Amino acid sequence: MPYPRSRPSPRARPAAWCAVLTLTWLALTLPGSRPHTVLAPAAASAAVSPAAEGGNGSVLGGILAGGNAHTCALVGGGVQCWGANGQGQLGNNSTQDSHVPVSVANLTSGVQALTAGGFHTCAVVNGGAQCWGNNASGQLGDNTTTQSSRVPVAVANLGAGVQALATGGAHSCALVDGGVRCWGANGCGQLGITGVSESRVPAALPTLPTGVQALSAGQLHTCALVNGGIWCWGDNSKGQLGLPVDGTSHPPAPVPGLASGVQAIAAAQDHTCALVNSGIQCWGDNTFGQLGNGSLAPSVTPVTVTTLVGGAQAVVTGYLHTCALAGGAIQCWGNNGSGQLATDTTLQSAKPLMIAGLTSGVRAIAGGT
């Protein structure tokens, strides 16, 4: 999505500036299209990885991916997408929305994983990375100034060795040989680098330790699972990095209290959650109860999701809600204005609610942005 041309350095990004970017994002988002949750095969990590099951918007090595208002699936080694297509995010060389799955051009085999961002989509293809859709901030990573691409393009300098992908509102990241490279918008430091407002090619994160196991990207922040702990960077205006809100964006830093035992991560609009020792902990914005601790108070430190029935197996985050697979059932909490909690009302919930009809036998879950 387009950002203002003149931007303060992300080294000391004011929280108000990230708020401006958030409002820009909301203005470009179709009403009612953000919150959605879809079921799919097993999810255990928020990374999109051919080698591990997982996914905030992607599952089982990226078999299914949900973006802002579009969805993609890995089918027989190729990709099919449906939904909104104004930026070419369906990848079928068109900008027409589709209510039925359409094949992504030139991706008939070799696709190993998928991830969907706000208005763009990326895939791991034969160990390399390809992306399509909106490119206003360079989130396709092909080192061009083209505003969008209706067909997949190769991400520069990522032709092999890609283990996982994660996409945010207008940025993308890849796990490559245990390290992370990011590209696209950097107005709030979401690429984990300083001194640039965007990058149209993958940039390495020099301050992030090696041993990265998984990635998850929120709208304006990014998190990584590193040697059993969590590191986050970017916008912290609501405490979504697990750090005190101090009016600036942040380079990669560990989330206090989560140095070990973390099994999966899921970053959302302004909150983040982690699967920790078969339980779930969340932090950041809590306006709609999306932290799941029975309160509406925000928290810059991880809080435990209460009244979750059964041991947690996966966690996914939507725009302002959260869902978990626990004990073979789906349980959700947070905003319910569009029915994302699957109840017969639109009332929010600050505690997990069991989804009727999905109380047993569920193997996985995936959430859109």
Question: CATH number of the domain that 151 lies in?
Answer: 2.130.10.30
The span from the CA of 183 to the CA of 161, in Å, is 17
User: Looking at the domain assignment, is residue 177 inside a domain?
Assistant: yes
Q: What is the DSSP string of 188-212?
A: TSTTS-SS-SEEEEEEE-TTSPS-E
Structural domains in the chain (count): 1
Spatial separation of the C-alpha atoms in residues 68 and 118, rounded to whole Å? 5
- Give the count of beta carbons closer than 10 Å to the beta carbon of residue 297: 12
Q: How far apart, in whole angstroms, are the C-alpha atoms of residue 265 and residue 195?
A: 27
Closest CA relative to residue 169, chosen from 150, 191, 149: 191
Which pTM value belongs to this model? Answer: 0.87
pLDDT of residue 62: 60
The answer to whether position 57 is within a domain reads yes
- Cβ atoms of 290 and 322 within 8 Å: the answer is yes
Q: Is residue 71 part of a domain?
A: yes
- pLDDT per position in the chain (369 positions), as tens? 333 333 333 334 454 546 555 444 434 443 333 434 433 333 333 333 333 333 333 334 468 898 889 999 999 999 999 999 999 999 999 999 999 999 999 999 999 999 999 999 999 999 999 999 999 999 999 999 999 999 999 999 999 999 999 999 999 999 999 999 999 999 999 999 999 999 999 999 999 999 999 999 999 999 999 999 999 999 999 999 999 998 778 999 999 999 999 999 999 999 999 999 999 999 999 999 999 999 999 999 999 999 999 999 999 999 999 999 999 999 999 999 999 999 999 999 999 999 999 999 988 887 776
The label of the residue with tokens 């209290």 reads 257
Give domain status of residue 294, yes or no. yes
Identify the domain containing residue 148 by its residue range.
Answer: 41-367
Q: Residue 65 belongs to what H/E stretch? A: strand 64-66
User: Angle at CA 314, nearest 5°, toward 357 and 176?
Assistant: 140
Domain assignment present for residue 268? The answer is yes
Q: Is residue 4 part of a domain?
A: no
Output the pLDDT for position 324.
96
pLDDT, residue 274, reads 98
In-domain check, residue 8: no
- The residues with which 182 forms a beta bridge, in sequence order, are 173, 203
Q: For residue 72, how far is the Cα from the chain centroid? A: 14
In tens, the pLDDT along 35-51 reads 344 333 333 333 333 33
